[in-house]
Structure 1
Amino acid sequence: MTIDYNERIPNNVELSSNKTLQRALEHWQPSYLNWWSEMGPDNSTNYDVYLRTAVSVEANGWANFDYVKMPEYRWGIFLTPSEENKKITFGDHKGDDVWQEVPGEYRSTLRRIIVTQGDTEPASVEQQRHLGLTAPSLYDLRNLFQVNVEEGRHLWAMVYLLHAHFGRDGREEGEALLERRSGDADNPRILTAFNEKTPDWLSFFMFTFATDRDGKFQLASLAESAFDPLARTCKFMLTEEAHHLFVGEQGVSRIIQRTCEVMNQLKTDDPTKLRAAGVIDLPTLQKYLNFHFSVTSDLYGAEISSNAATYYTTGLKGRFEEAKIADDHKLDHSEYEVMDVAGNKVLSRHVPALSALNERLRDDWVTDIQAGVNRWNRVPEKLGIDFRFVLPHKGFNRKIGMFADVHTAPDGRLLYEAEWTHQHKNWLPTEEDRLYVHSLMGSCLEAGKYANWISPPARGINNKPIDFEYVRFN
């Protein structure tokens, strides 16, 4: 199939003049469309969806709204504009010119970084592929599909880098990104969180709130990279990632709003009575927050990491908002405070900052996610409900790092095995909780109507009303 590169694949990487890259993408695109047909949103092929499409990086080009059939979505390839005389801002190469080509000595490490990031993009589409069948409104269905197509575009962005800069190895990695499957026993996705199920809309909203926020911080770190094409690619991806975080935070906020309204109507905080009224009680929402916070926290890896130190010193991956940090940007003599477990106590100790870069990024993420939880807490406060959501301790329910081999309560207490076994059902979603949430998942697809368990949004997408026909079924 011959592709009109300027029309079919919007780009600012001169795709129409790069014959080698054209041939690589001509081979890859049909495989991508086959993957989308098999693993993309279920039964959605013929829908007309009111989607945002990026056609350029300019302010008037990255958010064009119109009805689109998703298999015909124009997945583009965009890098933010290059900066003249741009220098590396951290690590051993600080002050040198940024790289336009991959240095040979960093080739395999950089390829692994790009592949790992790229693997998360199709994984989340696979995790969410059945959710469209139980959407609580056309508005929410459209937001799900917007997230899905943009995760697909982010996959294109990473595959472009692999094809353009890594030759045959890159082409093979691009094919492998379409062969792995989320949750597959034989060929799973690379990171554990992207093999978890997303069986309901509460899980989806929590995922986009917590796990897509990890995506924000990982992309922001890669946007500092000395490899300029990667940095410029990730900077543009961040403009789209912001909407994903909005979908999650606003979705949970609307669930809280609806529950609090019913609590006031019924004058009760009894979970049994609230469930009988068809809403999700606040303690159950807290359990889902605990779960998604802890699973996502593991994505940052171990608190002490020689790999993270290597990525930094070699210039491959910086810190969040590197330029705003007031230090020497080499960290040869700097320290950072991390938590540790000694016997039956949780302690803090200072370690070389280079070795604690995973923990620093996790701390930046925790600060950002706490700000979102603070915004959630304004809802019950405004409605006179005496309930506040609280982030669990960083050691809670961890499978990686200092806390992997101990049991930690949400308040940070270390527990014996027996106490954890007895108590964890009070802190994490039980099978009963998940079955109840699942029981609410019936589709509500009449324009302007919203499922009973979630409030309508305050405003629509792109200045459209909340009863706009965001999805048309054909």
Structure 2
Amino acid sequence: MSTINYSEKIPNNVNLSEDRTLQRALESWQPNFINWWDDVGPEGSTNFDVYLRTAVSVDPNGWAQFGHVKMRDYRWGIFLNPGDASREIHFGDHKGEKAWQDVPGEHRANLRRIIVTQGDTEPASVEQQRHLGLTCPSQYDLRNLFQVNVEEGRHLWAMVYLLHKYFGRDGREEAEALLQRQSGDQDNPRILGAFNEKTPDWLAFFMFTYFTDRDGKFQLSALAESAFDPLSRTTKFMLTEEAHHMFVGESGVSRVLQRTAQVMNDLKTDDPKKVREAGAIDLGTIQRYLNFHYSVTIDLFGADQSSNAAIFYSSGLKGRYEEGKREDDHVLKGQTYKVLEVHNGQLVEKEVPMLNALNEVLRDDFIKDSMAGVARWNKVLEKAGIPTRLTVPHKAFNRQIGALAGIKMSPDGRVVNEAEWAAKKGEWLPTPEDFAFVASLMGRVVDPGKFAGWIAPPVMGINRQPVDFEYVRFG
């Protein structure tokens, strides 16, 4: 069943009305969700009518309907991709068996942990972005921010449904806790480090949606392979929405670069000071933001060697990215993979059992994908005749997790001593001065068709609307 029932209090395509106990439990969670949205969701937006995309079905050709809606009235709900009764598990120790429609008892704790960790990232990013609407560079960008926010809210619903339906009282308690933790809170922070970082400005937001939402793409893709069929079907639909978040990031940074290149060409200079004085973001600052967001994101994949990763794979809970396209036995026993470690002050490669290195496999897939987008950003500079190129730092740079945690590493992959790190850190990572400068550009621009001076307009509007369309009605 792919059509979504919008006559229900909680829109869904899972026949919620047939399970009264579950329906009542979710209906009692719903007001807490709305309270959370009011408290830490997008600031000052309660009365805005926003031109949002709402899922009306999960079919590839009919899942998006556009129209102005108050965000607080957005129809969050529970949408799973259609099921396949003959679906088999295609990796791990259960390969060839029927996919599970319920949670096997022996995998209950691990599955719950996976769902809670994924679920925790969704409200965290809304919390991180809650002030950004106050400094938007245009109405077009404000609308994109709000679209990302409501979809992160729906992704939270997706995980909460699984917790309520399949994990009983434990699941209900975990669902409550998802609304109690808060990004950056000293006493009750979000589970993963990157989701406790601030998103202080729009350049950070674009980097976050490019890199950190791309982590989401890879994690969701790995979960879409799961032997637990409801999780697989849920995450497959979430991936459709995740694509938009990465588009916001990639196109946002492209437009920042376009404007910077234009200013550099107009002034015939690459002097960062002069570029800044002209109200654009210099390329050095953009590179430092990139270095920070990239390195924080690759930590999200976890330790390079992990017995948990091996257990999750062998037991069928979490596959690899595009598992079905890989040409191996999909069991991986006896296979190896290279990981990095530091030996006598030098980086060396080490062969380890592939099952234990699956976090690293996923991280390497992410790195390849990220580099392709950075190459597209460089095309913007190339087209403008600017010789500088953005680069992705070495995967050991600025790491806080795994065997590479705490190693002092330059972006180009040299192990450096404390003194060089201290001397060069301000060239490699954003400084307080960088943040202050970018913050100084963050004035609010909301007239239709007008854009802040540090970013170029997009090539086209949303859903074939003109760029100067009224995307947000301020009420």
Aligned partner of residue 53 in structure 2, secondary structure: strand
The DSSP-based 3-state class of the residue aligned with 2:100 is coil
Task: Say whether the 8 Å CA contact 2:10–2:27 is kept in structure 1.
Answer: no
* 1:93 pairs with 2:94: yes
Runs of 4+ aligned residues of structure 1 deviating over 3 Å after TM superposition are: 4-8
| C-alpha contact (below 8 Å) 1:6/1:16 kept by paired residues | no
Deviation string 1:203-227 (CA, Å, 9 cap, x unpaired) is: 0000000000000000000000000
Is 14-23 or 285-294 further displaced after alignment? 14-23
The CA distance in 1 between the partners of 2:46 and 2:209, in whole Å, is 23
Q: What secondary structure, in the 3-state scheme, does the structure 2 residue paired with 1:36 have?
A: helix
How big is each residue's C-alpha offset from its partner over 1:157-213, in whole Å with a ceiling of 9 and x where there is no partner? Answer: 000000010011101100000000000000000000000000100000000000000
Inter-partner Cα distance in structure 2 for 1:126 and 1:215: 17
Q: Is the 8 A contact 2:398 2:406 kept in 1?
A: no
Classify the secondary structure of the residue corresponding to 2:300.
helix
Give the counterpart letter for 1:381 in structure 2.
E
Residue in 1 that maps onto 2:285 = 284
Alignment deviations for residues 91-125 of structure 1 (CA, whole Å, 9 cap, x no partner): 00000000000000110110010000000000000
Distance 1:166-1:5 versus aligned 2 partners, 3 A rule? farther
Corresponding position of 2:104: 103
Query: 5 Å matches for 1:236-275?
Result: 236-275=237-276
Name the structure 2 match of 1:214: 215
Checking the alignment, whether the CA contact within 8 Å between 1:261 and 1:383 is kept in structure 2 is: yes
CA contact (8 A) 1:10 1:56 kept: no
CA contact (8 A) 2:226 2:317 kept: yes
Partner of 1:385: 386
Q: Could you say what secondary structure the match of 1:336 adopts?
A: strand
Q: Describe the superposition over 1:347-378 as per-residue Cα deviations: whole angstroms up to 9, x where unpaired.
A: 11211110100000000000000000000000
Supply the AA of the counterpart residue of 1:139. Y
- 2: CA distance, partners of 1:139 / 1:361: 33
- RMSD, aligned α-carbons: 0.9
Native 8 Å contact 1:220 1:234 kept in 2: yes
Structure 1 SS opposite 2:333: coil
Tell me what 2:326 maps to.
Answer: 325
Partner of 1:456: 457
CA distance in 1, matches of 2:403, 2:22: 44
Shift of 1:10: 2.2
Q: Which amino acid aligns with 1:113?
A: I
Distance 2:161 2:7 in 1: 15
Q: Is the 8 A contact 1:224 1:318 kept in 2?
A: yes
For 1:138-157, what aligned pairs fall within 5 Å after superposition?
A: 138-157=139-158
* 2:192 alignment counterpart: 191
1:423 corresponds to 2:446: no
Task: Give, in angstroms, the shift of residue 26 of structure 1.
Answer: 1.4
User: For the residues of structure 1 that align with 2:455 and 2:33, how far apart are their CA atoms?
Assistant: 34
Q: Distance in 2 between matches of 1:242 and 1:386?
A: 30
- Indicate the SS of the match to 1:408: coil
3-state SS, counterpart of residue 238 of structure 2: helix
Task: Give the letter aligned to residue 445 of structure 1.
Answer: V
The Cα shift of 1:338 comes to 1.2
Residue type of the alignment partner of 1:159? V
Identical counterparts, % of pairs: 68
Matched, 1:166 2:162: no
Equivalence for 2:317: 316
- 1:9 is displaced (CA, Å) by 2.6
Distance 1:443 1:367 in 2: 35
Work out the CA distance in 1 between the residues paired with 2:18 and 2:125. 33
> How big is the shift at 1:60?
4.4
- The 3-state SS of whatever aligns with 2:180 is coil
Q: Does structure 2 conserve the Cα–Cα contact (< 8 Å) formed by 1:10 and 1:55? A: no
Shift of 1:62: 1.5
> 91-100 vs 10-19, which deviates more?
10-19
1:79 equivalent in alignment to 2:80: yes
The residue that corresponds to 2:42 in the other structure is: 41
Shift of 1:339: 1.3
**TM-score of the aligned structures, taking structure 2 as reference length:** 0.98
Gaps of 5+ in 1: none
Q: Which residue number corresponds to residue 15 of structure 2?
A: 14
Residue 68 (1) aligns with residue 69 (2)? yes
Distance (whole Å) between structure 2 residues aligned to residue 167 and residue 37 of structure 1:
27
Structure 2: give runs of 5+ residues left out of the alignment. Answer: none
Write out aligned runs for 1:101-140 (5 A): 101-140=102-141
